[in-house]
Amino acid sequence: MHEQSITMLLSEIKAGRKDLVDDVFAILYAEIKSLAGHQLKRLSPGQTITPTVLAHECYLKVVNNEQLQLNNTRHFLHYMALSMRAYLVDTLRAKSTDKRQHIKSAMSLSDCVGDSQLNFRVMEMEQIFKRMEAIDEKLTEILQLKVLLGLTYQEISEVIDLSERQVIRRWQQAKALALAIYNEGNSDG
């Protein structure tokens, strides 16, 4: 489906072709979506899959097809996390618009998202990610890798080239920032 390999795209982005970011994004998004669809069909009723599993599948698929260089892995995972976020939010939105497409009255976030408080939390995390990106991209990256892609400290340390101890420290800092943002939003409302 995609002509260009992700590896190629990533190198070109690195070389300054920022306009190609969208392409990588589109490829990964499609990949995740199709993987998810495929996975879901295999599951028995009621089972769920996690973004972590999806991400691993996606990673394996790309790595099997292409020679992903280690210094590109980091970017790759970053874009994958972003794609994953987009996919999850879209999935939620789709569910809620299915259900309430007729209701036009002004609604709060939780109304849009629907019944499940758990779904609500996904949207909440999305808000936190967005705000964090503006404040500290690197911390956001660590948070995404850990929470969304389920990487271990060691894996993260390999990807972003920091010692494991440093990763743990950064993770703590990221957690504090996320929670502080969350608390701030909560006390305002």
Partner 1 sequence: MVEQDIKHWQQANEIYADMTDLSVSEAIAALHQLPHVEDEVKSLVISLISAGQQSSQYFDQAMESYRQVIKHTIFEVGQVVGDYRLTQALDQGGTAEVYVAEKVGSEVQKPVAIKLFNHPGYLSHLSDRFQVEQKILAGLSHPNIVKLYHGGHSSNGVPYMVMELVKDAKTIDRYVTEQGCSTRDIIGLIIQAARAVAYAHTNLVVHRDIKPSNLLIDDQDTLKVVDFGIAKLLNKPKDPQKTTLLALTPNYAAPEQIKSEPISVRTDVFSLAAVCLQLVTGESPLSKDRLLSGCVNDDSHINRLLKNKVIDSDLRKILQQALQSESSRRYRHMDLFADDLQAWLEHRPVSASRDSFVYRIGKFAQRRTALFVTSVVLLLFAVSSVIVFSWQYRQISIEVEKSRQFKQFLLNVFAAAKPEEARSGAIDARLLLAQAAENIDYLDLKAAADKSELTDAIAQAYFQLGLYERADALWQQVYQLTPDNRRAMLGLAQVAVINNDAETAKQWLQRVQKNDSKATQTERPADLWLIQSGIAELTGDQEQALSLARRAHDYFQGEDLIQQQLVAAQRVGDLLFKASQSKQAIDFLQHSLVTGRQTLPPTHPRILAIKNNLLDLYNDVGEFEQALAISDELTSQIESVFGERHPLLIDTYVATSGTYRATGDMDKAKEYAEKAYQLALKLHGLNSAITGRVVNTLGVLDYVRGNIKEAIAHISRAAEIFDDSVGENHPDTWEVKTNLTALLNMNQEYQRAIDLIEPVVKSQRQELGVNHKSTIYSQTILARLYGDIGDFEKATPLAESVLKIAIENLGEQHPLTLGSYFTLAKIYQKQNRLADAITLIGTIIHQPEGALTEDNESIITAYNTLADLYAAQDDMVNALLYKQKSWQAAQHILGDSTLRTLSQRLKLAQLLQQNKQFKEANQHVQAVQLLMQQHAIEHPGLQQLLDLLNSENQ
Closest contact distance (angstroms) between CB of 140 and partner 1 is 11
Q: How many CB atoms lie within 10 A of CB 167?
A: 23
Confirm or reject binding of residue 188 to partner 1 (CB under 8 A): no
CA distances from 9 to 5, 15, 30, 40, 72 (A): 6, 10, 16, 29, 10
Of residues 21-50, those binding partner 1 (CB under 8 A): 36, 40, 43-50
Nearer to partner 1, 4 or 127 (CB): 127
Confirm or reject binding of residue 142 to partner 1 (CB under 8 A): no
Of residues 101-120, those binding partner 1 (CB under 8 A): 102-111, 114-120
Is 173 exposed, middle or buried (CB count within 10 Å of its CB: 0-12, 13-18, 19+)? middle
Is 31 exposed, middle or buried (CB count within 10 Å of its CB: 0-12, 13-18, 19+)? buried
Residues near partner 1 (CB under 8 A) are 36, 40, 43-51, 54, 88, 91-92, 95, 98-99, 102-111, 114-122, 124-125, 134-136, 139, 146-148, 150, 169, 172-173, 175-184, 186, 189
